[in-house]
Amino acid sequence: MSTYRRVFWIVLDSVGIGELPDAGDYGDVGRSTLGHIAESRPLQIPNLIRLGLANIAPLKFLGPAAGPLGAYGKGATRSPGKDTTTGHWEMAGVWLEQAFPVYKNGFPRELIEEFEKHIGRKTIGNKPASGTEVIKELGEEHVRSGKPIVYASGDSVFQIAAHEEVIPITELYRMCEIARRLLDGPHRVGRVIARPFLGTPGNFVRTTRRHDYAVDPPKPMLLDVLAERKVPVLGVGKIHDIYNGRGVDEYLATQGNADGMERLTAAAKERKDGLIFCNLVDFDMLYGHRKDVEGFAKSLEEFDHMLGEFLPLLSLSDLLMITADHGCDPDPRWPTTDHSREYVPILAYSPGNGAGVNLGVRDTLADMGQTVAENFGGVIPHGTSFLSELRSQRTSEAAR
């Protein structure tokens, strides 16, 4: 018997909570996404505070809850790297011994030439850039020439931007599939990403038809284990792409955080059991990489408001976990727009549990995946479950 019939797992993309001990290896000493956003002004996030967010680490203007409703702690990324794929894979029980490659000076010329030969077009760009800035800079040339824009970032990605009226979306996806096949061996990036856009020079806007082409994760990982046990899994947002579709019975693309929370609300009303796994990407895509501290702060407050409306939908047999995959500190004192090597917050809440317990510092993000696996009667290769601590909350609550 599962302790919880349904697990809702929300990943707040890039919402880290302070530097990891090895942050110096990544040039990230002093970076703290939540810490610096909280310093920027008083945040209105009462629901996250009630669950125990400010009990995890000191956050300016936010006092810890006297009796947090959720179990709380923070998780370290054991694998090298600080990107989406690394973080999500580790949550599912995959430890990497070597980080995915990053191209801070653009991709090797021979790789670009091989890609151009296969797609039958020349490319432009080939440098690290912000996605919105690169289409401002090169969008007009792309429209005029028909050459797709290829660009890198501080993440392990190969990104291809194209105007949907110049290169149809099916052709852009085909190019990404070609790139995915070519990017192997030493160039095995975590993701190839299609970045379609529309509009006119000076008014280009990215569309919602982004698509990620991930590396296939090693077996077995959490979603494989759940599939073997016939546990239904709904992926919301880019979860399906990150795990290359493995173990995801049904998936729903989203157009932002609000849409993602609407999908979760519908799932809470319609689905009877299983894992509902969601990534909310706005924090990263719209604010972290653009170094928009105020936008990030408002987005946290908007999520908290939506969380307040979501919590009453949970039953006694539900578990909600909230975490992140890495940091992306937008503080302007750091010139980089890259992700940051940080701990991630861990909040675990069920209406059937009693007062929150301190989960402490977890050695790996896989502890969360192991908790989910154990709940549904399985086990994954790495991680230490904290299901027993959650069960003790339920036992103490039932004894009242």
For residue 399, pLDDT over 70 is answered with no
State the chain's mean pLDDT as an integer: 95
- Prediction pTM value: 0.90
Vertex 194: Cα angle to 143 and 258 (nearest 5): 110
For residues 358-386, give the mean pLDDT. 98
**Distant-in-sequence contacts of 261-270, Cβ < 8 A, 24+ apart:** 261/303, 261/306, 261/307, 261/310, 263/236, 264/8, 264/10, 264/236, 264/310, 265/309, 265/310, 265/313, 267/8, 267/234, 267/236, 268/6, 268/8, 268/310, 268/313, 268/314, 268/318, 269/313
What does the pLDDT read at residue 360? 98
The encoded tokens of residue 32 equal 């703290």
What does the pLDDT read at residue 398? 55
What does the pLDDT read at residue 394? 67
Indicate where the chain has its CATH 3.40.720.10 domain(s).
Answer: 6-98+216-398
Strands 233-236 and 250-252: parallel
Could you tell me if 64 and 350 are in contact, meaning their C-beta atoms sit under 8 angstroms apart? no
294 three-class SS: helix
How many C-beta neighbours within 10 Å does residue 286 have? Answer: 16
Residues paired with 151 in a beta bridge = 127, 159
> What are the two backbone dihedrals, phi and then psi, of residue 35, each rounded to the nearest 5 degrees?
-60, -45
Helix (H) or strand (E) holding 73: strand 71-75
For residue 59, pLDDT over 80 is answered with yes
For residues 273-294, give the mean pLDDT. 95
Which of the pair, 4 or 338, is modelled with greater confidence? 4
What does the pLDDT read at residue 384? 98
Pick the CATH number of 6-98+216-398 from 3.40.720.10, 3.40.80.10, 3.30.160.270, 3.20.20.80: 3.40.720.10
Vertex 172: Cα angle to 131 and 110 (nearest 5): 75
Band (132; pLDDT cuts 50, 70, 90) = confident
What does the pLDDT read at residue 34? 98
Q: How many Å is the maximal CA-CA distance in the chain?
A: 71
For residues 67-88, give the mean pLDDT. 96
What does the pLDDT read at residue 353? 83
Could you tell me if 366 and 380 are in contact, meaning their C-beta atoms sit under 8 angstroms apart? yes
- 109-214 homologous superfamily: Phosphopentomutase (3.30.70.1250)
Report DSSP state, residue 62.
B
For residues 104-114, give the mean pLDDT. 95
Indicate where the chain has its CATH 3.30.70.1250 domain(s).
Answer: 109-214
User: Out of 32-41, 146-155, 218-227, 295-304, which region has the weakest mean confidence (pLDDT)?
Assistant: 146-155
Report the phi/psi class of residue 120: left, alpha or beta, with left for phi > 0 and alpha for psi in -120 to 50.
Answer: left
Q: Where does 257-331 have alpha helices with state H? A: 257-270, 282, 293-310
191 three-class SS: strand
For residue 369, pLDDT over 70 is answered with yes
What does the pLDDT read at residue 400? 56
